[in-house]
Amino acid sequence: MEPWSTYRLDDFLLFSPRVYWRLFEAQNAALWPLHLATMLAGLALVLLILRRPGRAMLWTGLLLAPLWAFVAWSFLLQRYAGINWAMDYAAPAFFLQAVLLLAAAVMPGGPALGRRDAVSRAGLGLAVAGLLPYPALALASGRPLTMAEVFGIAPDPTVLVTIGLLLMARGRWLALLLPIPLLWCLFSGLTLLAMREAQAWPVLAGAGLATVLAALRLAQPASRR
């Protein structure tokens, strides 16, 4: 048996890039025009956080929780699990994240949204990037828009938007709410890297930036979080 050092990342890949991107094409064909509703809801949520942060966490949880559960069921279990056994573990993590988001929204002492500092502004940028430019990465990578990844429909943009919105919050709940999204970004980025897809770099960069920002947020004194 060859030593582990001789293996490359793509040696662990269980499917071809063509099969992978066809999953998104099938997902989009089955759910269109739900994409319009999820994107508009995401943009409305960003505006709510900016204008009325006092009520924003409730609506953030009420929107993001069902979307995480929906993506877990409709994409991870119904499509991705057929070519990647790791989804047997990822899907329950997505369902757990949905429960955590809902609990954070309705329980007393949950995170408060609407901070106006450097971390919050970076989080806002990450959330907007996941909503608007991210679907266009399909065209930039030479794929048709029918294979685009959209917030609330595909996992990566849903996760990036969630991370961005959470970075605009403060509170101890962030230590529970951020690990699953960050781990997914790492997993997805490495998968794309194994497929030699340029799209891996925005995902990994977003994960790296979010990790640094999350560490900065959690390192702040409790009174300033």
Lowest pLDDT segment from 61-70, 132-141, 172-181, 209-218: 209-218
Supply the pTM of this predicted model: 0.90
Distance between CA atoms of residues 41 and 211, nearest Å:
26
For position 98, what pLDDT does the model report? 98
> What is the pLDDT confidence band of residue 186, given thresholds at 50, 70 and 90?
very high
Contact 149, 138 (CB under 8 A): yes
pLDDT tens by residue, 116-161: 788 888 999 999 999 999 999 999 888 999 999 999 999 999 999 9
Question: Residue 209 pLDDT more than 50?
Answer: yes
Distance between CA atoms of residues 43 and 186, nearest Å:
25
- The whole-angstrom distance between residue 85's C-alpha and the CA centroid of its chain comes to 20
Q: Classify residue 212 as left (phi > 0), alpha (psi -120 to 50) or beta.
A: alpha
pLDDT tens by residue, 43-88: 999 998 888 877 778 888 899 999 999 999 999 999 999 999 999 9
Distance between CA atoms of residues 134 and 149, nearest Å:
7
Once rounded to an integer, what is the mean pLDDT over residues 184-203?
90
- The whole-angstrom distance between residue 121's C-alpha and the CA centroid of its chain comes to 18
Highest mean pLDDT among 73-77, 192-196, 220-224: 73-77
For position 150, what pLDDT does the model report? 97
Instruction: Work out the mean pLDDT of the chain and round it to a whole number.
Output: 87
> What is the pLDDT confidence band of residue 4, given thresholds at 50, 70 and 90?
very low
Non-local (6+) Cβ contacts of 185 within 8 A are 156, 159, 160, 163, 203, 204, 206, 207, 210
For position 217, what pLDDT does the model report? 78
> What is the pLDDT confidence band of residue 200, given thresholds at 50, 70 and 90?
confident
For position 1, what pLDDT does the model report? 45
Contact 195, 10 (CB under 8 A): yes
Four-residue CA torsion sign, 191, 181, 164, 134: positive
For position 137, what pLDDT does the model report? 92
Q: What is the dihedral of CA 160, 165, 166, 168, to 10 degrees?
A: 130
Question: Residue 223 pLDDT more than 80?
Answer: no
What is the β-pairing status of strands 112-113 and 169-170?
antiparallel
